[in-house]
Amino acid sequence: MNQPFDQTASLRLINEMIANAKYKFSESDSYYFLFWGYFTLFVLVTFYVISTVLNPGWAHYTWFLFLGGSAFNILINRKVRSSKIVITQIDTVIAKLWKSFGISAIALLIAGFFIQWLVMPVLLTCIGIVLLAHGQIINFRAFQFGGLFCTLGALMGFVLGNDIRQLPIFAVCIIIGYIIPGHLLKAAGKSPGR
Amino acid sequence: MFKDLDPLLHSQLRLAVMSLLMSVEEADFVWLKEQTQATSGNLSVQLEKLNKAEYIQILKTFKGKYPQTICRKTKTGIAAFEQYILDLKQYINT
Q: Which of residues 59-88 of B touch A (CB under 8 A)?
A: 63-64, 85, 88
Shortest distance, CA B27 to any CA of chain A (angstroms): 4
Among A67-76, A134-143, A171-180, A185-194, name the one with the lowest average pLDDT.
Answer: A185-194
Length of chain B equals 94
Question: Chain A interface residues facing chain B, Cβ-Cβ under 8 Å?
Answer: 1-5, 7-11, 13-14, 16-18, 20-22, 82, 85-89, 91-92
Report helix, strand or coil for A5: coil
A with B: how many residue pairs have Cβ under 8 Å apart? Answer: 84
B67 forms beta bridges with B62
Amino acid identity at A24: K
Residue B2 has a pLDDT of 63
Given pLDDT bands bounded at 50, 70 and 90, which one contains residue A1? low
- For residue B35, the chain A residues in CB contact (below 8 A) are 17, 20-21
Instruction: Using only the alpha carbons of chain B, give its radius of gyration.
Output: 14
- For residue B30, the chain A residues in CB contact (below 8 A) are 85
- For residue B15, the chain A residues in CB contact (below 8 A) are 10, 13-14
B88 and A7 within 8 Å at the Cβ level: the answer is: yes
Mutate to test the interface with A, among B3, B12, B49 (most CBs of A within 10 A): B12
| Confidence (pTM) | 0.75
Residue B94 has a pLDDT of 65
Report chain B's mean pLDDT, rounded to a whole number. 89
Tens of pLDDT, residue by residue over A110-147, are: 887 777 778 889 999 999 999 999 999 888 899 999 99
- Which residues, at least 6 apart from B50, have a Cβ–Cβ distance to it below 8 Å? B8, B14, B17, B18, B56, B77
The ipTM value here is 0.76
